[in-house]
A and B are shown apart, each in its own frame.
Chain A
Amino acid sequence: MSDSLDLAFAALADPTRRAILTRLAEGEASVTELAQPFAMSQPAISKHLKVLERAGLVETAQQGRSRPRRLSPQGIDGARAFIEQMASYWPDRFDRLAAYLERSGEAEGNPNE
């Protein structure tokens, strides 16, 4: 799992690839359709799609000759489960703030303050 997550997050480091995923979240699309909003050639988009496919985030549907791309539910679920932590966003940060205050308080010779 962690290897595939590594690949997934590396794939996500690029804004074009994130935009492609956002577009695919609305429904499957052909390479031509995906290339449209970007000032990019189809080969350049295909290269991005390959990275996304290797990361297990995107798959190719076989529909005659059109071969539209779509989100791969499994890959997306793995990464989503990891990243969907908004509910703990502030509790996490408050915990680290408390730890930081404790650390910096001790550094100031100001324990438990």
Chain B
Amino acid sequence: MSENVPEFIITRRLAAPIERVFAAWAEPEQMVQWSGPPGAKVEIVEGEMAEGHSTISRSTSEQMPEMYTLALWREIAPHSRIAWEQSFCDEQGNKIMPPFFDAWPLTLLTTVDFAAKDGETEITLRWTPIEYSEKALAEFVRQMAGMKQGWGGSFDKLDAFLA
């Protein structure tokens, strides 16, 4: 999707049919049940989870400060793909850096592809920085470097930054 930046890719096979897995992502009342930080309660406080629309969601937990996430839903294709632009934001939906990160991509495009496999479901998730400083890109790669999963895209910009 993006030719110029590193793209983080992770896959997972889930023991449930594609209809149920897709619904767990695409139906807001299901999505909030598992998609927040560990131990957090997530609720959509504004907007509609529909193509071309944005949502602001809030996560609250005992251990963490209240955090808000902005999502712009680019594509919601039943049983096939969900793609959205994701940023940390304030209560009003203004994009912000997450607490303690002085460098993190301001906006990440998340693309999830769903594939049916023998009654189960394989999901492939790609995380692509789309609003970022070079420093943020370097931090993104540093954070994700411990993962054994693959990378796609190109490291050209980062190479230029690190050179």
The interface of chain A, by Cβ under 8 A from chain B, is 5, 9-10, 12-13, 15, 18, 21-22, 25-26, 76, 79-80, 82-84, 86-87, 90-94, 96-102, 104-105, 112-113
Contacts and interface: CB of A to CB of B under 8 A. Distances in A.
B86 to A, nearest CB: 11
B15 A12 contact: no
B99 A18 contact: yes
6 contacts: A12-B65, A13-B66, A80-B100, A90-B127, A91-B10, A91-B147
Contact of A18 (B34, B38, B64, B96): B96
A105 B100 contact: no
A82 B100 CA distance: 10
Contacts of A13: 65-66
Interface string B10-34: 1010111100110010000010011
A10 B16 CA distance: 39
Given A86-B144, A90-B10, A90-B125, A101 B102 contact: no
Contacts of A83: 64, 98-100
Nearest to B121: A101
A93 to B, nearest CB: 6
B97 A22 contact: yes
A102 B14 CA distance: 10
A101 B21 contact: yes
Contacts of B33: 100
Max chain B Cβ within 10 angstroms of own Cβ: one of A5, A12, A79: A12
